[in-house]
């Protein structure tokens, strides 16, 4: 029997507010344990939460960006459960009326574009953290994270493969960062997801029983966790068993999923409207203002890159996958006097490989957009060849010549030799030094010419213009 998988994602995006969702405590990451948890965050008796308006407006901004309905009135609810990192015994969330309903995101799949519907996005507070290390066998509780604002973005079960799930997640990641509502830092847990997955025989229309994979914080882990879970479910069904609805945890070290707990149903949480918080109101005037402040969205920017800069869809998609890369590109093109395609190639190729190798984000690149742009100009006016340009790039990366591209090319003597006399001299020397190969070329074995070009390039330390070398060799040997 052939199976298909069905996936729906719940993404928690931490909103980039300075203070918490219902208190004035700082949300800064990395402080010593329990130094950023006030009476409201830990729910001491008698305290009252106050809504952080900024968080609400960020949620509404998200709604506008995905074409959703931003509900004029939404309601906070208490989700009751016991956990050591939740001292007040309930989490403030939204249940019946979330701030955002509907909307969608378009992803690119092997079969073309596909629309993934968004069910809802709601505001809630994060819980604290249990720390199981360094406590001599005890567990510590750090409540700094308690009360951090989260936007939980829930998708419809529209995804049909782990690859589609990753594409959706990346799209969402780019979007929330472009909107500047979430920093997207996955290592710090600012953007994490629960993946719900089920299988069914291909052609079946009803949904199978799902399991939920909790708190995955990397694109690679999402894909791996889903593959394993789908395989596991298929084996269970093929062996005549049934899938149990449960929450499972992906263990990246062992590379498998393990059961964590049975799945709670909504009624287990005894949701009810929080009596301490008034309904959240977002009116037309709020929306008009937010709409006017929306940045250019990633899809629009990608389309503009294709038309304005004459880039391929692939190049444009790569560059707009992160707004910092797109910003870098637009700045570099300006410095490269509009030479967009070569600039795109250099960013997607050389620059990306250096950044990845050194694990540096593009905003901290030692080679600035101005430097790259200037280098592109020197390739264009044939001051340096593409190959030498890579040496120049490496030297710029190391911080030589204070990033002055022309000074660097001069001081290292890297200027391309376009002087025909100098090249002719090198060509004659090579013909004299490799008589057998020269004879083969004369006898009609034209491909041997490549070898001789290589020798001339070697003799000139790569600085001769390869095209000029090629032409001169042909002239000497074949005319
Ligand atoms: P809960 O809040 O209890 O986790 P929801 O009904 O809100 O449950 O669903 C959460 C996520 O699970 C959504 O993203 C939804 O698309 C997905 N989902 C629901 N049913 C299935 C299923 N049978 N297979 C795969 N995903 C599912
Ligand atoms: Mg869930």
pLDDT, tens digit, 9 for 90 and up, residues 153-198: 999 999 999 999 999 999 999 999 999 999 999 999 999 999 999 9
- Average pLDDT of 413-432? 81
Q: Which long-range contacts (CB under 8 A, 24 or more apart) does 294-299 make?
A: 294/61, 294/64, 294/65, 294/179, 295/178, 295/179, 295/180, 295/323, 297/65, 297/175, 297/178, 298/171, 298/174, 298/175, 298/178, 298/323, 299/106
Cα dihedral 116, 117, 122, 128 in deg (nearest 10): -30
Band of residue 203 on the pLDDT scale cut at 50, 70, 90:
very high
Looking from the CA of residue 6, the nearest atom of ligand 1 is 25
From 81, 120, 154, mutation site for ligand 1 pocket: most ligand atoms within 8 A of C-beta:
154
Band of residue 256 on the pLDDT scale cut at 50, 70, 90:
confident
Cβ(298) to ligand 1 under 6 A? no
pLDDT at 134 exceeding the cut of 90: no
Which ligand number lies closest to the CA of residue 263? 1
Cβ(9) to ligand 1 under 6 A? yes
Cα 266 to ligand 1 centroid, rounded to whole Å: 12
pLDDT at 135 exceeding the cut of 70: no
As a whole number of angstroms, the distance between CA 123 and CA 13 comes to 10
Rounded to whole angstroms, the maximal C-alpha distance in the chain is: 98
Report CA-CA distances (Å) from 287 to 17, 29, 97, 117, 141. 19, 30, 18, 22, 39
Cα 39 to ligand 1 centroid, rounded to whole Å: 34
Band of residue 21 on the pLDDT scale cut at 50, 70, 90:
very high
pLDDT for 156 equals: 98
pLDDT for 349 equals: 95
Q: Which residues of 381-396 are buried (b: 16+ CB within 10 A; e: fewer)?
A: eebbbeebbbbbbebb
Q: What angle do CA 15, 21, 22 make, to 5 degrees?
A: 180
Cα 240 to ligand 1 centroid, rounded to whole Å: 24
Looking from the CA of residue 155, the nearest atom of ligand 1 is 14
pLDDT, the chain, mean: 93
pLDDT at 49 exceeding the cut of 90: yes
Cβ(373) to ligand 1 under 6 A? no
The pTM for the full model equals 0.85
Cα 96 to ligand 2 centroid, rounded to whole Å: 15
Cα dihedral across residues 158, 162, 163, 166: positive or negative: positive
pLDDT at 404 exceeding the cut of 80: yes
From 157, 215, 222, mutation site for ligand 1 pocket: most ligand atoms within 8 A of C-beta:
157
pLDDT for 262 equals: 76
- Half-sphere CA count of 200, side-chain side, radius 13 A: 15
pLDDT for 223 equals: 95
Cβ(197) to ligand 1 under 6 A? yes
Looking from the CA of residue 156, the nearest atom of ligand 1 is 16
Which ligand number lies closest to the CA of residue 158? 1
From 208, 210, 244, mutation site for ligand 1 pocket: most ligand atoms within 8 A of C-beta:
210
Cα 5 to ligand 1 centroid, rounded to whole Å: 13
Cα 10 to ligand 2 centroid, rounded to whole Å: 7
Looking from the CA of residue 154, the nearest atom of ligand 1 is 14
pLDDT at 382 exceeding the cut of 90: no
Q: Which of 354, 405, 11 has its CA nearest to residue 181?
A: 11
Cα 93 to ligand 2 centroid, rounded to whole Å: 13
Q: What angle do CA 311, 315, 319 make, to 5 degrees?
A: 110
Cβ(210) to ligand 1 under 6 A? yes
Cα 110 to ligand 1 centroid, rounded to whole Å: 25
Cβ(243) to ligand 1 under 6 A? no
Which ligand number lies closest to the CA of residue 271? 1
- Least confident span in 163-167, 205-209, 422-426: 422-426
Looking from the CA of residue 10, the nearest atom of ligand 1 is 14
As a whole number of angstroms, the distance between CA 234 and CA 246 comes to 16
- Average pLDDT of 365-385? 93
Cα 8 to ligand 2 centroid, rounded to whole Å: 10
From 96, 196, 260, mutation site for ligand 1 pocket: most ligand atoms within 8 A of C-beta:
196
């Amino acid at each position: 029997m052939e199976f298909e998988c069905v996936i729906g994602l719940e993404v928690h995006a931490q909103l980039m507010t300075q203070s918490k969702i219902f208190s004035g405590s700082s949300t800064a990451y990395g402080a010593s344990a329990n130094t950023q948890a006030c009476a409201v965050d830990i729910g001491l008796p008698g305290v009252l939460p106050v809504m952080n308006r900024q968080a609400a407006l960020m949620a509404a901004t998200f709604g506008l960006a995905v074409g959703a309905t931003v509900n004029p009135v939404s309601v906070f609810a208490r989700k009751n459960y016991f956990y050591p990192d939740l001292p007040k015994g309930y989490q403030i969330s939204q249940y019946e009326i979330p701030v955002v309903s509907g909307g969608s995101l378009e992803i690119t799949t092997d079969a073309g574009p596909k629309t993934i519907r968004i069910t809802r996005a709601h505001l809630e507070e994060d819980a604290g953290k249990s720390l199981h290390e360094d406590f001599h066998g005890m567990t510590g509780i750090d409540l700094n994270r308690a009360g951090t604002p989260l936007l939980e973005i829930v998708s419809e079960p529209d995804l049909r493969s782990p690859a589609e799930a990753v594409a959706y997640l990346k799209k969402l990641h780019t979007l929330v960062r472009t909107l500047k509502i979430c920093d997207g830092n996955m290592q710090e847990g600012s953007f994490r997801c629960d993946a719900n997955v089920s299988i069914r025989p291909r052609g079946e229309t009803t949904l199978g029983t799902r399991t939920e994979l909790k708190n995955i914080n990397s694109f690679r882990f999402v894909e791996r966790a889903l593959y394993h879970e789908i395989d596991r479910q298929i084996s269970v069904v093929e062996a005549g068993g049934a899938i149990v609805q449960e929450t499972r945890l992906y263990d990246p070290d062992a590379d498998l999923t393990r059961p964590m707990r049975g799945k709670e149903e909504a009624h287990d949480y005894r949701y009810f409207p929080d009596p301490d918080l008034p309904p959240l109101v977002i009116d037309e005037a709020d929306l008009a203002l937010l709409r006017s402040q929306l940045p250019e969205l990633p899809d629009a920017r990608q389309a503009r890159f294709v038309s304005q800069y004459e880039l391929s869809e692939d190049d444009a998609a790569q560059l707009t996958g992160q707004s910092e890369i797109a910003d870098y590109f637009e700045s570099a093109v300006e410095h490269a006097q509009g030479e967009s395609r070569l600039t795109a190639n250099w960013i997607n190729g050389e620059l990306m490989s250096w950044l990845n190798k050194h694990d540096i984000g593009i905003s901290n690149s030692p080679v600035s957009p101005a430097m790259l742009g200037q280098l592109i100009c020197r390739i264009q006016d044939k001051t340096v060849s593409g190959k030498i340009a890579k040496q120049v790039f490496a030297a710029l990366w190391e911080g030589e010549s204070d990033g002055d591209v022309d000074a660097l090319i001069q001081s290292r003597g890297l200027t391309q030799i376009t002087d025909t006399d100098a090249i002719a001299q090198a060509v004659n020397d090579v013909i004299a030094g490799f008589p057998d190969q020269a004879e083969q070329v004369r006898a009609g074995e034209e491909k041997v010419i490549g070898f001789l070009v290589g020798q001339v390039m070697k003799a000139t330390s790569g600085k001769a213009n390869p095209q000029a070398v090629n032409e001169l060799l042909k002239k000497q040997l074949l005319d």
